[in-house]
Structure 1
Amino acid sequence: MSEEIQSFSIEYLEPCAYLYVEVFNSKPWNEQWSFNTARTRLFEITNTPGFVGFIFKQDELLGFLAGYCKQGQKSKSFYLEEICVRPDNQRQKIGTKLLDKLMQTLTSIEVKSVYLLTNKDGQAEAFYTKHGYQRKQEMIFMTKKF
């Protein structure tokens, strides 16, 4: 099996939406995505200015990541909006390879930081911590429902 990482292009939108539903409707997230809502979400992300994304294939699509660059007052940052790996292929370094490709790309375009949101104290936080991400104590996530 040959593995490859490619840029996330529009041709991967639907396969990635199916993967998104498979991953996030399963444990530990147990969300309720439909194919249409997942496709819309990914379409919006891919059409955000500064979009950067990659897919991981090994004969078939096994994972992807997507986000976008944002200009700050002194430097650019990258918001890692989504990373997704097929459940039965997790813990096989696919996420690590996607992050490595992302970091190479961001370094080449002079992005200075990456940020993301994830559930605390779970498998995802442990993954990001392993790769050098830290909780920001001076920042909080706030929401208002209506």
Structure 2
Amino acid sequence: MPEEIQTFTTEHLDKCAHLYVEVFNSEPWNEQWTFETARTRLFEIINTPGFVGFVFKQGELLGFVAGYGKQGQRSKGFYLEEICIQPHKQHQGIGTKLLNQLMDTLTAMKVTTIYLLTNKDGQAEAFYTKHGYQRSQDMIFMAKRF
């Protein structure tokens, strides 16, 4: 079956939400997403100003990437919110193809920096490191639970 990368639209929302639940409720994340909460999260992301996202299909939807751009004081940045690949299709180049499509699009938009959050010391960090991402020396992620 031929591969195709399409722009992520609301037409893809339900399938992407199902995939999101499948991926993030499994190892190594072991989260507790429902279809409804995953769909709401993705709906919010695709409705953020500056949204850019793509889906990867090969007969069926196998993965997606999504985030949004923001203007900074001197340049545009991009917040990579999600990349999600069917577990049995990981390590086959789909994530790389989605990142390449994203990079081509962001380059044309004159984006100069991509930001993301991921678990440290795991497969996701290794994937991003392989693609030239590195831990920030300038910024930290902080949280307050209440």
1:74-108 alpha-carbon deviations (Å, 9 max, x no partner):
01010000000000000000000000000000001
Q: What is the deviation of 1:138?
A: 2.2
Distance, in Å, in 2 between the alignment partners of 1:46 and 1:22 is 20
Q: In 1, distance between residues paired with 2:111 and 2:123?
A: 26
* Residue 47 of structure 1: how far off its partner (Å): 0.2
Corresponding residue number in structure 2 for 1:91: 91
Give every structure 1 segment of 4 or more consecutive aligned residues whose post-TM-superposition deviation is greater than 4 Å. none
1:45 aligns with 2:48: no
Q: Residue 79 of structure 1 aligns to a residue in which SS?
A: strand
Aligned length: 146
Q: TM-score scaled by structure 2?
A: 0.99
Q: Give the secondary-structure state (helix, strand or coil) at the position aligned to 1:20.
A: helix
* 1:139 alignment counterpart: 139
Q: Which runs of 5+ in 1 are unaligned?
A: none
TM-score, length of structure 1 as denominator length: 0.99
User: Which residue is 2:105 aligned to?
Assistant: 105
What letter corresponds to residue 17 of structure 1 in structure 2?
A: A
**2:67 paired with 1:72:** no
**Residues of 2 paired with 1:49 and 1:142: CA distance?**
24
* AA in 1 matched with 2:63: G
How far the C-alpha of 1:137 sits from its partner, in A, is 1.9
Q: Percent identity?
A: 75
Q: For residues 109 and 142 of structure 1, what CA distance do their matches in structure 2 show? A: 29
Distance (Å, rounded) in 1 between the aligned partners of 2:140 and 2:116: 12
**Whole-angstrom distance in 2 between the partners of 1:121 and 1:45:** 26
* Residue identity matched to 2:55: I
